Amino acid sequence: MFGKKQESWLIVGLGNPGKEYERTRHNAGWRALDVICQKLGCKADKLKFQGLYTQLNYEGKKLYLLKPQTFMNASGRSVVQLSGYFQIPPERIIVLFDDISLPPGRLRIRGEGSAGGHNGIKSIIQELGSQNFPRVKIGVGAKPNEHQDLADWVLSGMSASDEKALSSALERAADAALCIMEHGVYEAANRYNGSTP
User: According to the model, what pLDDT value does residue 151 have?
Assistant: 81
* CB-based contact 96:13 (threshold 8 Å): yes
List Cβ neighbours of 108 (8 Å cut-off, separation of 6 or more): 99, 102, 136, 137, 139, 193, 194
Ranges under pLDDT 50 in the chain = 1
Residue 184, domain CATH? 3.40.50.1470
In sign, the C-alpha dihedral spanning 96, 98, 102, 105 is positive
Asked if residue 3 belongs to a domain, the reply is no
Domain coverage including residue 91: 8-192
197 found inside a domain? no
- pLDDT for 4 equals 63
pTM of full prediction above 0.75: yes
Question: What distance in Å separates the CA atoms of residue 56 and residue 66, rounded to the nearest whole number?
Answer: 12
pLDDT at position 54 is: 98
Cα gap 50→62, rounded to integer Å: 20
pLDDT of residue 1: 43
**What is the count of structural domains for the chain?**
1
Residue 85 lies in a domain: yes
Confirm whether 48 is domain-assigned.
Answer: yes
pLDDT score of 158: 86
Indicate if 26 belongs to the active site.
yes
In a domain, 160, yes or no: yes
Q: pLDDT tens digits for 92-103?
A: 999 999 999 999
Position 30 in a domain? yes
Give the pLDDT of residue 144: 81
Active-site position among 26, 118, 147, 183: 26
Position 172 in a domain:
yes
Q: Judge whether 183 lies within some domain.
A: yes
**Cα gap 23→9, rounded to integer Å:** 27
